[in-house]
Amino acid sequence: MPSCSEYPFTATVNAMTPVPVRRPPLPILATIDWPEGVVTPEPKTAAALAAAAERLATGQLVAIPTETVYGLAANAMDPDAVAQIFYAKGRPATNPLIVHVSDTDMARCLAAQWPDTAERAARAFWPGPLTLVVPKAESVPDIVTANGHTVALRCPGLNVSRRLIELAKCPIAAPSANRSEAVSPTTAHHVLEGLGHRVGMILDGGPCEHGLESTVLDCTVDPPTILRPGPISAQQLAKALGVQIHSSKEVCVEQGKERREALRSPGSQPRHYAPRTRLTLAEDATTLIPELLEAGHRVGWLSRSPHTAAVAALAASPSLVVIPMPEDPAGYARSLYATLHALDQRGLDHLVVDTVPTDSDWAAVHDRLERAAT
């Protein structure tokens, strides 16, 4: 196993004050294509990755694709670079970042301790959409962890993401590439719409595979606890780890209080993942929507029963846009953010979303919708 000295990254002096983002007139948009199973990327992709790695190594921001959502990446060991993430996103300083690593050896170098739970989870699900919360090493800048004593680590499943980390020769802090509390981007176009000149380069790897953020597992407690549900379910974790898995909802400390506390997991604010258009979860949309239409509202409806007679009758209204949503949780998750982005462009007054099941398979979707509707 490589020693930590073989990884050349080092941290500079910690900084908590955001600095102005370097703002090129227009972001560079580079298309990349590296299919899984192909050993070497084609030349254009290799050149784009090298250019992005150079930007990261010199303290700049790059928007990158992952299998979950697009991330706004910076050198995790450079506090000034990380501060640009907070500035560009308008992100609260109490909201920690996930650090992306190329492999488990790099992850161990960022942890003060590497619990057995983390080792077994990494073996089972890395590379992939699982983030592990472990005690942080002193080398990790405080700004990354919001001054907390733990660090959230993930080895992304997309080969271009891991290759970029290798080329940049540093772990990468990469929250979703959007303004804070907004809907996460699942395409490069979403990043361009949301951040614009706040990022100098965008790597376009096409639509994201999962479409929702990673599962976050706290490995510092017994039993291990899911802090944010995601593509890896509690059942999958319990089966792989051979232990009971708990779930926990963290509550963000309200803005304006004299004392603020760091969250242990990103994405834990009560309001998050929210479109610009007001969103309401409805047990019976066929009752709510006529009331909204009667009041003169233009309405978008994310329906799980699009082929019923009641839906057909309402769909005749020119003020209603009906979007049939997939019936399976993975398909629903994959299309959710893209649908919300698209409806935000329609100039609607209200979005109505049919409630989804509350079982484990739907936990991630249920969590995102609840926070978006807050």
What is each CA distance from 18 to 58, 81, 90, 106, 370, in whole angstroms? 17, 9, 10, 27, 30
206-240, pLDDT tens digit by residue?
Answer: 999 999 999 999 999 999 999 999 999 999 999 99
* d(C-alpha 373, C-alpha 354), whole Å: 12
Q: Is pLDDT of 370 > 60?
A: yes
Residue 128 has pLDDT above 50, yes or no: yes
Looking at per-residue confidence, does 84 or 26 come out higher? 84
What sections of the chain are H helices per DSSP?
43-57, 79-89, 104-109, 116-125, 159-168, 188-195, 234-241, 285-294, 309-315, 329-344, 363-372
Domain ranges (residues) in the chain:
4-247, 278-372
Across 283-309, b (16+ Cβ under 10 Å) vs e yields eebbebbbebbeeebbbbbbbbeeeee
Neighbouring CB atoms inside 10 A of 119's CB total 15
Average pLDDT over the chain reads 90
Picking from 8-17, 218-227, 232-241, 358-367, which range would have the lowest pLDDT averaged per residue? 8-17
Q: What is the pLDDT of residue 205?
A: 96
Share of the chain above pLDDT 90, in %: 78
What is the CATH code for 4-247? 3.90.870.10
Distance CA 290, CA 371 (A): 25
Residue 316: band (very low, low, confident or very high) from pLDDT cuts 50, 70, 90: confident
Please give the pLDDT value at position 18. Answer: 57
Per-residue pLDDT, 293: 96
Does pLDDT of 66 surpass 90? yes
Reported as a pLDDT band with limits 50, 70 and 90, residue 21 is low
pLDDT band at 254 (very low <50, low <70, confident <90, very high): very low
Range 307-315 average pLDDT? 79
Q: Which CATH class is domain 278-372?
A: alpha beta
Per-residue pLDDT tens for 174-204?
999 999 999 999 999 999 999 988 999 999 9
- Asked if pLDDT for residue 256 goes beyond 50, the answer is no
Q: What are 120's two structure tokens? A: 């077994």
Q: Give me the percent of the chain exceeding a pLDDT of 70.
A: 89
Neighbours of 343 (CB within 10 A): 22
Taking 80 as the threshold, does the pLDDT of residue 48 lie above it?
A: yes
